[in-house]
Chains A and B, each alone.
Chain A
């Protein structure tokens, strides 16, 4: 891609994401919850963060340059403390009621399976951060897991036919998805997601994990590590679908840094699939 095309593509994507629809059930939940003036802030956080689109839009606003000089709000809870409960509530309402495009869906990557994958990765990344790395800021890792494949949702929404072809080709040739994305679209979903996150001034650690979770290594940040490892674990557990036929290996350095092997992690996560199921019910009724 030339620099010029790159910029053009980027501008187009960014503009289109504005009108990207949140998931219908989270919109419904937000509206019914906020009709009650005493709605529980905890529940509000839960609904927002079980919808990658809504979460992304809120982080985008909270970190935007028009409002503040700093750019470090990395979780929905942080947005709440930073901006105040009512402002976040009103933001969620405005996102829920904004005129959005009809949601695209392709059989190659049904949005319900994509959502399951995103939520499972989010939960798993949070568990890894909290219970294996003992980090206090585990909500940031939830969000990183939730948004790691945001670029895919954007591709499905705005280039459904092309992206369906890409997904098919990856499946038929059993090739890594990023490779086919590069060949057919000139950009990987990780790069597209990272570029968008960058233009919205999301926190650098989050941008980095979106961009580099696909080639996580020994020196990656904790956030890239939890997301990459979570990605591998949930694929091994067959939770949802990321569209990528290649399950990345659970590598030696992951085991070393997390202090557990794949089986050890899965062994502690029997509740995960129920947890994901509950979250998914929040955003989407029947698949």
Chain B
């Protein structure tokens, strides 16, 4: 399996000299399976430079999995050049919105409205298909199996596990571990804690033993209290999760747009100092980096 990071920034693109090492594009991961299928996780602005590299490989069939509908995870989709070229195929997967009942197609079509984007959907010449996924329902892409896992974010967010020829990867999308809404002295505290643990267990089971975990580590522990409920994890929660799930290699991503390269490395090394067990390799996700295993 091959993984390349094309966007590792959270919330808003952050180009400039101070983010040049880790990159300023928002979330996009390119994966090639061992049998040559192309899987793209999220279509943040990183999908645009990725698209440039696909031009020479056309015609392509891109399987694009959307973790959730927030802007930083879909913004690059209308600029995915292969969509305009006849002969290409794109299959776009994602969750329905349980509140409105909208399918992934209806959710994503909003950004293709003419007032936001000057090309009409009918002008997209590639063959485009949309697939609304249900939690736990795997889809086959060649020999690979992609399984959506419900994480915790202000909107429904699917993490994805990809299994292919004995190799595996899990991407959380945006995820904040659930927290107890009750105080320890409340009657409901223990019951709610049990529900949280049940949910965490089911996430860990799905994540268990993957070779590569890519996880949302937006905040430091110090920043977190002010951002509780915003739907993102911390360096420490990601490291803990990786240890618990016994993953081989962890990439921390969704870097804060205000955190420059130097600050990012500083908070990262601080969080590494606190580690008590040394189970897995940990790195900051960096734009352009290729991981092959």
Contact = CB atoms under 8 A, between A and B. Distances in A.
B229 interface: yes
B73 interface: no
Interface in A54-73: 61-62, 64-70
Which of B156, B187, B191 has the most C-beta atoms of chain A within 10 angstroms of its own C-beta?
Answer: B191
A66 B134 contact: yes
B153 A84 contact: yes
B50 interface: no
Nearest to B101: A66
A95 to B, nearest CB: 10
B249 interface: no
Nearest to A40: B181
Nearest to A130: B187
What is the interface of chain B mostly: helix, strand, loop, or mixed?
loop
A130 B187 CA distance: 10
A81 B135 contact: no
Interface string B24-64: 00000000000000000000000000000000000000000
A83 B98 contact: yes
B188 A139 contact: yes
B134 to A, nearest CB: 6
B98 A42 contact: no
A77 interface: yes
Given A67-B135, A69-B136, A85 B181 contact: yes
A67 B134 contact: yes
Contacts of A137: 191, 194
Interface stretch (A24-32, A86-94, A167-175, A184-192): A86-94
Contact of B190 (A81, A87, A136): A136
B192 A77 contact: yes
A84 B178 CA distance: 8
B135 A68 contact: yes
Given A42-B181, A84-B152, A138-B191, A69 B135 contact: yes
A98 to B, nearest CB: 11
Contacts of A67: 95-96, 98, 134-135
A87 B155 contact: yes
Contact of A136 (B95, B99, B182, B194): B194
Contacts of B156: 83-84, 87
Contacts, number: 78
Contacts of A91: 98-99
Contacts of A87: 98-99, 154-156
Interface in A129-175: 130, 136-139
B199 interface: yes
Interface residues of B, number: 33
A82 interface: yes
B195 interface: yes
Contacts of B194: 136-137
Given A84-B153, A87-B154, A139-B188, A94 B100 contact: yes
A41 B192 CA distance: 12
Contacts of A82: 150, 199
Nearest to A90: B99
User: Interface size bucket, A side?
Assistant: 20 to 34
A80 interface: yes
B137 interface: yes
A47 to B, nearest CB: 14
Contacts of B150: 68, 82-83
Contacts of B101: 66
A106 B101 CA distance: 34
A271 B155 CA distance: 39
A41 B181 contact: yes
Nearest to A137: B191
Interface string B132-143: 101111000000
B181 A136 contact: no
A90 B98 CA distance: 9
Contacts of B195: 77-78, 81
Interface string A16-44: 00000000000000000000000011100
Given A67-B134, A86-B155, 10 more contacts: A42-B186, A66-B96, A67-B98, A77-B191, A81-B192, A82-B199, A84-B154, A87-B99, A91-B99, A139-B188
24 contacts: A42-B181, A42-B182, A45-B181, A61-B98, A62-B98, A67-B98, A67-B135, A68-B135, A69-B134, A69-B135, A70-B136, A77-B188, A77-B195, A78-B195, A81-B178, A81-B195, A84-B152, A84-B154, A85-B154, A85-B181, A86-B154, A87-B154, A136-B194, A137-B191
Interface of A: 40-42, 45, 61-62, 64-70, 77-78, 80-87, 90-91, 94, 130, 136-139
Interface of B: 95-96, 98-101, 132, 134-137, 150, 152-156, 178, 181-182, 186-188, 190-192, 194-196, 198-199, 229, 231
